[in-house]
Structure 1
Amino acid sequence: MRKRSRRRKKRIPLMPLFFIALSGSIGWYYLESLEGVIASIVLYYILLIGFKIWRKSRRTAKLRKSGIREVDIMKGEEFERFLGELFKRRGFKVSYTATSGDYGADLILKDGQDVIAVQAKRYSSTVGVKAVQEIIGAVKMYNATEAWVVTNSHFTRQAEKLADINDVYLIERDELIDMILNKR
């Protein structure tokens, strides 16, 4: 038997509406005019956008200051963002793929005519053949000229052999540490 799926009612987020109403009320209180209400709401949005930009820049700065110890405790998506910032500082144009259905690539790097598909693996154990297989499949999907697998750990012998046969560049822990230290 099939279970019926319940349709959820779309909820209107009340907090933003509350702050808009509050800022409009403040504008009315001080200026007692419609222009005061509008000016107050516009000021609210300017402050909100400024706060979001500041918060994003703080998050980016935190990623840039991360070392290998911080990398070791990151989640997978944080590690991808960290690598994106690291490669941006090295002169690449970075784009991120979707978190699911990414066809094996987490980052796409562009450097002139070169397109590099990158698989990011933040592991506490060694990285196996599967990561290399995934990035090999991503090369054609993204029309990449190169394929890289980057990890904070090390690769198994089988992964190294498969990467060597398929011209996949492997960046393991020691080289990642060098990249972090050389590009602060």
Structure 2
Amino acid sequence: MECLGPQCAATMLEWLRARAAEGGLAAAPATAPGAARQGLLWKAAPYQEEAPAITSAAEMAGAVEHLQFAVFRRYQNQLTRAERGRLDNSIENALFKIERYLSRVDAAERVCHEGEVARLRDEVRDHKERTERLRLQARRAELKLAQLTTLSPETFEEFVGELFEAMGYEVAQVGGTGDEGIDLHLRRGGLLAIVQCKYHKRGVVGSPELQKFLGSVHHAHAHKGYFVTTSTFSLAAEKFSADHPIELVDGPRIVELVTQALGPGARKEPEPSWF
């Protein structure tokens, strides 16, 4: 039966009163002192960065949660130099206070946290080593960038490989006879890509060269191809690449990739004179 307006509300109220009188809507009993209660989902206390020390098990749990998030944010996100510095300080401070706290507690509590803290410490160390290695590779690429007019085709290929390594790819050089226009194989995660390097001081790369390169991309079962040159591409080549899994990397784009590899906020060198 359809019920509308005040009549509906009155009918519902009458029904509720009848149910309460029958005992069908008994009030929930108050919690007796000492009775079991539902536990809280979060056991940790908020981590206080400005506090000089960790003083309780709850604060310790909060510090570990803070450290887990800080490590993830520091090494899995694109950050500015200032953000990286703040997170580095936060991670170092948290590790220092955690180690001091663990040195004071009993063995049972120490065992609860030692494994995770050791894992996070190793993760920070590994990321620092990898970051430093990539930074040095990017610096080498930066130096070669200013010397591109004097590089040989072979050295240019090495330069391109170092640049992609600095960007986080696993690089394998191919080259030689029968390479089918493939100079480098790239892997990152599940991505497979190939690279062809063309060292030209003058001239323009046209669409016929890209059509041959596309055949190499398909033959290698690659997801993508990078065609890297020190010269420029014709309009027809640019239109062809827009319809196929080929990325064109010319002189100005090489400069952008070196800057990207160096990271946000890196010192910028004057652009080389060859373009």
CA contact (8 A) 2:194 2:222 kept: yes
* Matches of 1:67 and 1:92, distance apart in 2: 19
Structure 1 residue identity aligned to 2:252? D
Give the alignment partner of residue 69 of structure 1, picking from 142, 146, 163.
Answer: 146
Does 1:170 pair with 2:272?
no
Does 1:94 pair with 2:156?
no
* Matches of 1:142 and 1:87, distance apart in 2: 19
CA contact (8 A) 2:172 2:184 kept: yes
Instruction: Determine which structure has more spread, i.e. the larger CA radius of gyration.
Output: 2
How much does 1:102 deviate? 0.8
Partner of residue 182, structure 1: 260
Partner of residue 110, structure 1: 187
CA contact (8 A) 1:117 1:148 kept: yes
How much does 1:65 deviate? 4.5
- Identity over the aligned pairs, expressed in percent? 28
The TM-score normalised by the length of structure 2 is 0.42
CA contact (8 A) 1:118 1:135 kept: no
Partner of residue 147, structure 1: 225
Partner of residue 18, structure 1: none
Give the alignment partner of residue 136 of structure 1, picking from 214, 220, 225.
Answer: 214
Describe the SS at the equivalent of 1:149.
Answer: strand
Describe the SS at the equivalent of 2:146.
Answer: helix
Runs of at least 5 residues in structure 2 that lack an aligned partner in the other structure = 1-136, 263-275
How much does 1:136 deviate? 0.5
How much does 1:91 deviate? 0.5
- Structure possessing the higher relative contact order (Cα contacts under 8 Å, 6 or more residues apart): 1
* Matches of 1:122 and 1:150, distance apart in 2: 8
Describe the SS at the equivalent of 1:104.
Answer: coil
Runs of at least 5 residues in structure 1 that lack an aligned partner in the other structure = 1-59
User: Which range moved further: 110-119 or 161-170?
Assistant: 161-170
The verdict on how the C-alpha distance between 1:175 and 1:65 changes in structure 2, with shifts beyond 3 A counting, is closer
* Matches of 1:65 and 1:165, distance apart in 2: 31
RMSD: 2.1
Describe the SS at the equivalent of 1:66.
Answer: helix
Describe the SS at the equivalent of 1:183.
Answer: helix
CA contact (8 A) 1:116 1:144 kept: yes
Stretches of 4+ moved more than 4 A in 1?
A: 60-63
How much does 1:96 deviate? 1.0
Structure 1 residue identity aligned to 2:184? L
The TM-score normalised by the length of structure 1 is 0.61
The verdict on how the C-alpha distance between 1:110 and 1:116 changes in structure 2, with shifts beyond 3 A counting, is same
